[in-house]
Amino acid sequence: MKRYTIALLTLGLAVLAIVPPAMAHHSFSAEFDSKQQVDLQGFVTKVEWTNPHVWFYINVTDPATGRTTNWGFEMGPPHGLQAGGWTRETMKLGDEVRVNGSRAKNGSNKVNARNVILVKTGKKMGAASSEGDAATQ
């Protein structure tokens, strides 16, 4: 009986540990609009290799006005990116990248990245976007 109680208690604690991260995750369609496609190029200012999504930021300069704006790009989870060949060292501060993806519904400078091109090497990398999973989330 004591063994059964300990097993149930352990299972209960495991479920409690899993629930908050799962509840914090959002669906693609809740935040991003697949009809608002953007294609931006700039220099990496920050990379956050964290769960549930990897984020990176680039400075984009408008050729017409010369104004520079910082944009944030959501990619998939670290394990999804690693499966696609990414490492923490793939994209570094100062690297020039070209990114396409779907802009945030609220008009902010946030994008769900679909593909990233590393300008220096020309290498195109998938961003493990959640856009294809929008119907299931």
In a domain, 6, yes or no: no
* Tally of domains in the chain: 1
Output the CA–CA distances (angstroms, integers) from residue 84 to 21, 46, 67, 100, 116, in the order listed: 23, 21, 34, 17, 12
pLDDT tens profile 6-38? 656 655 555 455 544 444 455 777 789 999 999
In a domain, 89, yes or no: yes
- What is the four-CA torsion angle of 16, 17, 20, 23, rounded to 10 degrees? -80
pLDDT tens profile 78-132? 999 999 999 999 999 999 999 999 999 999 999 999 999 999 999 999 999 877 6
In a domain, 1, yes or no: no
In a domain, 57, yes or no: yes
Q: Once rounded to an integer, what is the mean pLDDT over residues 64-76?
A: 96
In angstroms, rounded to a whole number, what is the distance separating the alpha carbons of residues 48 and 23?
Answer: 21
In angstroms, rounded to a whole number, what is the distance separating the alpha carbons of residues 125 and 104?
Answer: 21
Q: For the beta carbon of residue 12, count every other beta carbon within 10 angstroms.
A: 10
In a domain, 116, yes or no: yes
pLDDT tens profile 34-64? 999 999 999 999 999 999 999 999 999 999 9
In a domain, 137, yes or no: no
Q: For the beta carbon of residue 64, count every other beta carbon within 10 angstroms.
A: 6
In a domain, 95, yes or no: yes
- pTM value is 0.76
Domain that includes residue 69, residue range: 27-132
**pLDDT-derived band of residue 137, with 50, 70 and 90 as boundaries?**
very low
In angstroms, rounded to a whole number, what is the distance separating the alpha carbons of residues 104 and 36?
Answer: 8
